[in-house]
Amino acid sequence: MDGRGDSAPVDEGALIDLRAFMQVLRRRRLVIILVSLVVFAAATAAYFTTPPVYTSTTTVALERGGEKVVQVDQVVPDVAPDSAAVDTEVAVLKSPGLIGKVVDDLQLTRYPEFNPALETGEVVPEEAQRKRAVTTVLGNMTASRNGFSYAIDISYASESPAMAAKVANKIAETYIGEQVATKSGATSRASDFLEGQLDELRAQVESAEAAVASYRASHGLFDLGGNSSVTQEEITTLNAQLAQARAEEAEARARLSTANAQLARGGSGEELGESLDSPVVSSLRSQRAKVSGRVAALRQQYGPRYPELTRTQQELQDIDEQISSEVRRIVANLSIQANAAGQRTGSIMGSLQRAKGTLAVDNKASVGLSELERRAESARTLYQTFLDRYKQTRAQRGLERADSYIVAEAQVPALPSSPNVLIFAVIGLIGAIAGSTVVVAILQLLDRGVETTSNLEKKLGMRVLGSIPDTKHLPELEGLGDSVHPTQLIVDRPQSSFAEAFRWLQTSIHFNQRDRGPVVVAITSALPNEGKTTAALSLARSAAMAGKRTILVDCDLRRRVSSTEPGPMETIGLRALLDNQGQLDDAIYVDPETGLFVLPRRNDEHHIQPFADSAAFSELIAALRAKFDFIVLDTPPVLTIDDSRVIAAKADSVILMVRWRKTPTRAAELALRHLDSVGANVIGATLSMVDVTAQARIGYEDASYYYGAYKSYYA
């Protein structure tokens, strides 16, 4: 375990290579600039040809709590504004019905801006003119919520600044007026409805109350209030009277019983409460006391036989009889009172029983009465409710208020809102980016060549040995022009980057060989004009100048090495040597400047029959291995001449030349496939004719990307 944990593999093909993207931008910068200039020119032209449009805005706000003159419920209740309510009001502002009223109030059909038929002279029905004006207003107006507030911005755009402000303000005024009209209409309709209902309910109440009165009268159910009837009040009174009568009867019989008991014990009855209360008995007892005093005095003074005493005693006896007679009358009166109280109690009990019987009958009748009373009460309650609501509704007339108000009226704009420089600049920028992207994408699709060594490695699946600069674009060779052939630069400018590229190539070949003996290297390409022959001659010259015994064999039947040399090569040529028309030394030309041995084809030789698969050619290769350290074979293109595959199969190493930005990747792939089919040892590919100045801007994975940093090393 390395302590870093397992990580999922990354699909590099799915990633965006920013450096490659920047590479494309740098390469296509002129195209991008040109397309951008064209797009910006079009945007500029559109800006100056677009007629100015003025936009004016009015702002309305929704009421969060309206004033109340009368504390009653409204017919159309106020709704506390929320997000949904604000959005709803925005939709109302955009409704064709509201805009139609604006069109009618301002008579917009009289303006050509809203009725193009006025300019064209076309006969259009009034309704169609109105619909077109409504559509025009809806198309030029915007209504939107102002942030998260309860305010709504109403904007209108027109070529006339005065018309823009006029329409915006009228929309707001009509919107508020419609709210008031809606509430006023609802209040009027509610009043009319309630008034009609009250007439019906009043008749129902009167009918119900008449039915209750008639039922009471027919059943004798007279209401005394407090949920009591006459019979119930009578029973209550009789119960009270019965209780009092029974108490009085008990009291009378108690007095009578007491008096009879005293008389039965032999009492005179004078000590009875009634006797004590009687004035007659009190008077008689006073007289008796006086007479009794005289009797006592006479008896004491004159003795028992005194005549006056006898008369006085007779008088005392008469008084006693009178007292006894009065007591008997009082007792008789007590008996009469007791009997009267008993009769009164019985009478009240009879009346009470009769009242209870009547109440039972009344209770049965009250069931129907209760039902009638409930109906009457329900009718009264409903009537009263409608009456109260009717009064409230009548009180609201003239007090209707809109649920919104104007915060800021639209003003006549001084500056146009369109065309907007910033908007057109953004449109131009977006158009430039889009147009450049499309053009660059098309160019990239049409460009089938390869630009960098890394890209070549990815597409061919093999290593790239290096890149060979194009001498026409080397800064250190700007003063030479076309007077010096590239192969001559190996001699004249050994410190140039062109010469260094072939020394780099030699090193790559050297370290790709398993054996350190003589090396046979075949230089080939997929198609003609890829710098193959120049590269072969330059490589051979570079190796010869490095001290290696080198020979270049011209194996291309149609493009001769001798054509790149300034002077003639006087030899018998390769073809004559293979036909045994001379010795090897007779066929070899020695380059006096580098000591390079060249086995060329004669300029007058037109025989192009294949020779690579002949025994003579194989023997030639073996003979060259014995005499030379480094043998370079300049072969024909793989896709054009079949000899190229045979020659490549006889070489120790094969190098495929791919021209920078020119050779199609598909062609290079086919060439590799053909070489593999014969077992050729292709050790790598090389980019040829590379514009190092352009590569320094785009080839971020190539050494030439840093050409600006190391170009001072070359001369």
SS (H, E, C) 168-185: HHHHHHHHHHHHHHHHHH
Alpha helix (H) ranges present in 265-306? 273-277, 279-302
The first and second tokens of residue 405, run together, are 């108000």
131-136 contacts at long range (C-beta below 8 A, 24 or more positions apart):
133/103, 133/108, 133/109, 134/96, 134/99, 134/100, 134/103, 136/108
What is the token pair recorded at 388? 């109260």
pLDDT of residue 229: 60
9 DSSP 8-state letter: P
Q: Is 399 left (phi over 0), alpha (psi -120 to 50) or beta?
A: alpha
Residue 85: in which H helix or E strand, if any? helix 83-93
- The first and second tokens of residue 437, run together, are 């992207």
**3-class SS at 658?**
strand
pTM of the model: 0.51
Q: How many CA within 13 A on the CB side of residue 53?
A: 15
- Residues in CB range of 419: below 8 A, 6 or more apart: 46, 47, 50, 52, 53
DSSP reduced 3-state for 39: helix
Token pair of 696, please?
């320094």
Among 671, 644, 175, CA closest to 404 = 175
The total number of residues shown for the chain amounts to 715
Q: Which of 154, 151, 157, 180 is nearest to 169 (CA)?
A: 154
Instruction: Specify the pLDDT at position 705.
Output: 61
- In this prediction, residue 668 carries a pLDDT of 94
Q: How does DSSP assign 108-152, residue by residue?
A: GGGSTTT-THHHH-----HHHHHHHHHHHHHHHEEEEE-TTSSEE
Q: What is the pLDDT of residue 434?
A: 93
Q: What is the pLDDT of residue 69?
A: 45
pLDDT value of residue 638:
94
Distance CA 43, CA 31 (A): 18
Q: Classify strands 597-599 and 589-590 as parallel, antiparallel or unpaired.
A: antiparallel
How far is it, in rounded angstroms, from Cα 601 to Cα 589? 10
663 in Cβ contact with 525 (< 8 Å): yes
CA distance 401 to 395: 14
The CB-based long-range contact list for 448-451 (8 Å cut-off, 24+ gap) reads 448/664, 448/665, 448/666, 449/659, 449/660, 449/661, 449/662, 449/663, 449/664, 449/665, 450/658, 450/660, 450/661, 450/663, 450/665, 450/668, 450/687, 451/23, 451/27, 451/660, 451/661, 451/695, 451/698, 451/699
Widest distance between CA atoms in the chain = 233
Tokens standing for residue 450? 């390869």
What is the C-alpha separation between 37 and 366, in angstroms, rounded?
Answer: 104
Low-confidence ranges of the chain (pLDDT < 50): 1-7, 10, 13-15, 69-71, 224, 226-227, 566
Instruction: Kindly list the distances between the CA atom of residue 33 and the CA atoms of 26, 354, 431, in Å, as whole numbers in the listed order.
Output: 11, 124, 13
pLDDT of res. 262: 67
Per-residue confidence (pLDDT) for residue 659, from 0 to 100: 93
- 657: enclosing H helix or E strand: strand 653-659
**DSSP state for residue 298 in the 8-state scheme:** H
Give the pLDDT score at 382: 87
Q: Which residue has the tokens 């490549």?
A: 648
C-alpha 532/C-alpha 638 separation (Å) is 11
CB neighbour class for 339 (10 Å; exposed up to 12, middle 13-18, buried from 19): middle
Phi, psi at 60, each rounded to 5°: -115, 150
pLDDT, position 3:
40
Other CB atoms within a 10 A radius of the CB of residue 91 amount to 9
Closest CA to 520 of 363, 625, 371: 625
Q: Nearest 10 degrees: CA dihedral of 121, 122, 125, 130? A: -70
Is residue 545 within 8 Å of 491, Cβ to Cβ?
A: yes
pLDDT at residue number 60: 92
H helix intervals, 397-494: 421-446, 453-460, 489-492
**Alpha-carbon span 313 to 307, nearest angstrom:** 10
Q: Half-sphere exposure of 333 toward its Cβ, with a 13 Å CA cutoff?
A: 10
Q: What is the pLDDT of residue 686?
A: 94
What are the angstrom distances between the C-alpha of 342 and each of 253, 331, 336, 349?
Answer: 9, 17, 10, 11
Sequence-distant (6+) residues with CB within 8 A of 564 are 485, 487, 533, 534, 537
Residues 6+ apart with CB under 8 A from 326: 275, 278, 280, 281, 284
| C-beta of residue 676 within 8 angstroms of C-beta of residue 455 | no
